[in-house]
């Protein structure tokens, strides 16, 4: 990491595709600019990181009216699928963490999470590890 640049920490709460996508895009851009990136997935965002998850996009009410456009752009390759975006973010060195409290609430065990998740931790630990980072909540 370039010592002149603060790291970027993103806390994902929403499970809506558009919010996950844009958060991962921010992470990818920050990584490309030499910033250290740490991502914390909680609540509904964890659904995308289960090993046995369908590729069905979850959209909130606002985004739902654009489902057809989003599906077509992914199909045509104009938008990356979330799996590909996560692979790129990981390749750039980002660290991905799952929220242990959310895992308990949603009855998700560590073994059920995709290999891209580096570690499970609580929010206090995440905030301690990223105390000097720029923080974004999605």
Span 60-88, pLDDT tens digits? 677 677 777 777 767 776 677 788 889 99
Q: For strand 134-137 and strand 8-12, is the pairing parallel, antiparallel, or unpaired?
A: parallel
Measured N-to-C along each axis, helices 82-91 and 17-32 cross at an angle, to the nearest 10 degrees, of: 20
Q: Whole-prediction pTM value?
A: 0.84
Residue 136 reports pLDDT greater than 80: yes
How would residue 15 be classed by pLDDT, with cut points 50, 70 and 90?
confident
Is 2 a residue whose pLDDT tops 50?
no
34 backbone φψ class: left, alpha, beta (φ>0; ψ -120 to 50):
left
pLDDT of residue 48: 86
Percent of the chain residues past pLDDT 70, beyond the cut:
86
Question: Does pLDDT of 1 surpass 70?
Answer: no
Give all domains of the chain, ordered by start, each with its CATH number: 8-137 (3.40.1260.10)
The CB-side HSE value for 93 (13 A sphere, CA atoms) comes to 12
């Amino acid at each position: 990491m370039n010592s002149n640049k603060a790291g970027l920490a993103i806390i994902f709460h929403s499970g809506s595709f558009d919010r996950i996508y844009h958060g991962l895009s921010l992470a990818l851009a920050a990584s490309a600019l030499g910033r250290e990136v740490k991502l914390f997935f909680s609540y509904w965002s964890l659904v995308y990181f289960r090993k046995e998850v369908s590729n069905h996009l979850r959209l909130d009410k606002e985004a739902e009216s654009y489902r057809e456009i989003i599906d077509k752009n992914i199909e045509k390759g104009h938008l990356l699928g979330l799996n590909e975006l996560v692979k790129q973010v990981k390749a750039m060195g980002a660290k991905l963490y799952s929220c242990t409290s959310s895992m308990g609430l949603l009855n998700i065990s560590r073994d059920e999470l995709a290999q891209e998740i580096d570690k499970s931790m609580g929010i206090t630990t995440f905030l301690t590890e990223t105390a000097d980072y720029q923080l974004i909540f999605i």
